[in-house]
């Protein structure tokens, strides 16, 4: 048996109160959505509460669609599950539009047995192979040593996306598929470098999009800017956000950043979010893992950066963590070249992060960008007062620039270059 499905869970805010209290209208909206998804409607039931509020459910062939409304709060929750190959994310957004929702959180989850045809033994082998595709030798060794010594497991969840480990020893560390994501000893060096230079270069940092960053640490830095009015954070793994919102040690580290009213979390694939996004952002921050395999490499393509370009305001900026200009210089400059192939002007910089070494970033803009000279008014503990010091590269790194390539959907090579540069097995 091979059951596959797509599951949308949607929280719709600031909806039209009249629509949320009209059972016949809601019935029509949901039935149309089901038919758009090419699903057979087997049964409908809608119940209206007194004085207000509606619960409705459509039983579909091998699936369902339900809604619960709180008109007095202008809020509705929707649950849409379908089996088959039909993409329902567009239909989900159309549903939100029909409810006149001005703000929403969408959880897009793949459900079912994805490898039903694979014997159990082979599934285990595939899982082991997946784990070996992320994390270099030093990560594996440090994790093994960490687990053999005095430590506390603060959070451990293995899901369909990755294996999440949050460990407290002399510091707090998060590993995803045994690849180190951060150490509390020096994560500030990374997150300050990721966030503050782009704010120094921004003309109007009001609306911000963070892709990845489910630990809330980049979010913590963004929230230091009072002029920021709205932040959307898109993270594919709900368990990472769950840890960031509920594990006390991590909440302390991210300064309870998810509790800020300016923040909206979208548990969703970044490509899906950007493909359907109609808003324009002043700053987009990309905090993705390293392109160690084909799937992650696809998030560093010309096509993906084109989606980012479309989602930026005219003076908007994007920043992408881009690996090490010393240890993986061809990867670093290939990301730069790929951004340029997507009509971005770029500005490159780097800093030292003890847990990772020399680490690089690229800022992209729609118009030529001069280097930000001074730091922002927000204080940082690890950055120089003159950001131009971060933009000087060694002759070794610059000599590798000539070998950079454009990473695209048709020519997906960044993960292969990563392996050739010797960091990953």
406-415 pLDDT tens trace: 999 999 999 9
Q: Worst-scoring range by mean pLDDT, 15-24, 92-101, 140-149?
A: 140-149
Parallel, antiparallel, or unpaired: how do β-strands 103-112 and 152-158 relate?
unpaired
pLDDT at site 39: 85
Mean pLDDT of all residues in 275-300: 93
On whether 189 is known to bind a ligand per the annotation, the reply is no
Instruction: Report whether pLDDT(148) > 80.
Output: no
CB 304 within 8 A of CB 298: yes
Instruction: Report whether pLDDT(125) > 70.
Output: no
3-class state of residue 20 by DSSP: helix
Compare 47 and 355 and report the one with higher pLDDT: 47
pLDDT band at 132 (very low <50, low <70, confident <90, very high): very low
Mean pLDDT of the chain, nearest integer: 86
pLDDT band at 136 (very low <50, low <70, confident <90, very high): low
167-195 pLDDT tens trace: 887 789 999 988 889 999 889 999 999 99
Helix (H) or strand (E) holding 282: strand 281-287
pLDDT at site 372: 62
Mean pLDDT of all residues in 265-272: 94
pLDDT band at 310 (very low <50, low <70, confident <90, very high): very high
Alpha-carbon distance of 411 to 423, in angstroms, equals 21
Compare 372 and 384 and report the one with higher pLDDT: 384
Tracing tokens 């694939």 back to the chain, one arrives at 269
Alpha-carbon distance of 285 to 201, in angstroms, equals 13
| 136-183: CATH topology | Spermidine Synthase; Chain: A, domain 2 (2.30.140)
Q: Worst-scoring range by mean pLDDT, 3-17, 120-134, 374-388?
A: 120-134
Kindly report whether the global pTM for this prediction surpasses the value 0.75.
Answer: no
Mean pLDDT of all residues in 382-391: 89
On whether 269 is known to bind a ligand per the annotation, the reply is yes
Count Cβ neighbours within 10 Å for each residue of 90-116 and write b for 16 or more, e otherwise.
Answer: ebbbebbebbebeebbbbbeeeeeeee
| Best CA proximity match to 321, nearest among 183, 148, 170, 189 | 189
Instruction: Report whether pLDDT(203) > 90.
Output: no
Residue ranges of domains in the chain: 5-111, 136-183, 187-423
On whether 235 is known to bind a ligand per the annotation, the reply is yes
Mean pLDDT of all residues in 297-312: 96
Alpha-carbon distance of 340 to 343, in angstroms, equals 5
Parallel, antiparallel, or unpaired: how do β-strands 41-48 and 54-60 relate?
antiparallel
On whether 34 is known to bind a ligand per the annotation, the reply is no
Q: What architecture does CATH give domain 187-423?
A: 3-Layer(aba) Sandwich (3.40)
On whether 298 is known to bind a ligand per the annotation, the reply is no
52-85 pLDDT tens trace: 999 999 998 878 999 999 999 899 999 998 876 5
**DSSP-assigned letters across all residues of 131-172:** HHTSS-HHHHHHHHHHHHSS-EEEEEEE-SS-EEEEEESSSE
Alpha-carbon distance of 290 to 305, in angstroms, equals 16
Question: For residue 337, what are the CA distances in angstroms to 155, 177, 315, 404, 407?
Answer: 38, 29, 21, 7, 8
**DSSP-assigned letters across all residues of 86-127:** ---HHHHHHHHHHTT-SEEEEEEEEEE-TTTTS-HHHHHHHH
3-class state of residue 76 by DSSP: strand
Give the active site residues.
63, 68, 83, 287
pLDDT band at 121 (very low <50, low <70, confident <90, very high): very low
The alpha carbons of the chain give a radius of gyration, in whole angstroms, of: 23
Tracing tokens 């089901």 back to the chain, one arrives at 34
CATH node for 5-111? 3.60.90.10
Quick one: 322 exposed, middle or buried, by C-beta within 10 A (0-12, 13-18, 19+)? buried
């Amino acid at each position: 048996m091979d059951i596959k499905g797509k599951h949308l869970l949607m929280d719709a805010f600031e909806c039209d109160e009249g629509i949320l209290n009209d059972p016949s209208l809601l019935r029509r909206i949901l039935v149309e959505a089901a038919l758009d998804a090419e699903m057979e409607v087997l049964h409908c039931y809608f119940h209206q509460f007194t004085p207000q509020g509606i619960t409705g459910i459509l039983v579909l062939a091998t699936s369902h669609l339900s809604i619960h409304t709180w008109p007095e709060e202008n809020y509705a929750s929707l649950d849409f599950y379908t089996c088959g190959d039909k993409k329902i994310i567009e239909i989900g957004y159309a549903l939100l539009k029909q409810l006149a929702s001005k703000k929403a959180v969408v959880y897009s989850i793949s459900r079912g047995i994805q490898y039903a045809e694979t014997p159990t033994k082979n599934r285990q082998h595939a899982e082991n192979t997946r784990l070996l595709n992320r994390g270099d030798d030093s990560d594996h060794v440090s994790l093994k040593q960490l687990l053999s010594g005095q430590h506390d497991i603060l959070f451990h969840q293995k899901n369909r996306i990755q294996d999440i480990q949050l460990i407290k020893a002399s510091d707090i560390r998060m590993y995803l598929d045994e690849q180190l994501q951060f150490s509390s000893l020096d994560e500030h060096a990374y997150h300050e470098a990721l966030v503050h230079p782009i704010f120094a270069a921004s003309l109007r940092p009001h609306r911000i999009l963070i892709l990845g960053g489910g630990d809330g640490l980049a979010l913590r830095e963004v929230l230091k800017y009072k002029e920021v009015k709205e932040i959307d954070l898109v993270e594919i793994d709900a368990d990472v956000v769950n840890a960031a919102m509920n594990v006390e040690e991590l909440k302390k580290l991210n300064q309870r950043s998810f509790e800020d009213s300016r923040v909206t979390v979208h548990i969703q694939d970044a490509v899906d979010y950007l493909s359907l996004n109609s808003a324009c952002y002043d700053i987009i921050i990309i905090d993705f893992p390293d392109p160690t395999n084909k799937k992650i490499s696809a998030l560093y393509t010309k096509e993906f950066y084109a989606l980012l370009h479309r989602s930026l305001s005219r003076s908007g900026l994007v920043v992408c963590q881009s690996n090490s200009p010393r240890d993986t210089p061809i990867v670093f400059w290939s990301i730069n070249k790929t951004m340029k192939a997507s009509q971005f002007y770029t500005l490159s910089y780097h800093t030292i992060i003890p847990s990772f070494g020399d680490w690089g970033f690229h800022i992209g803009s729609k118009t030529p960008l001069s280097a930000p000279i001074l730091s922002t008014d927000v204080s940082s503990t690890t950055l120089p007062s003159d950001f131009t010091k971060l933009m000087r590269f060694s002759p070794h790194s610059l000599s590798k620039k000539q070998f950079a390539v454009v990473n695209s959907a048709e020519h997906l090579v960044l993960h292969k270059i990563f392996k050739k540069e010797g960091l990953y097995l």
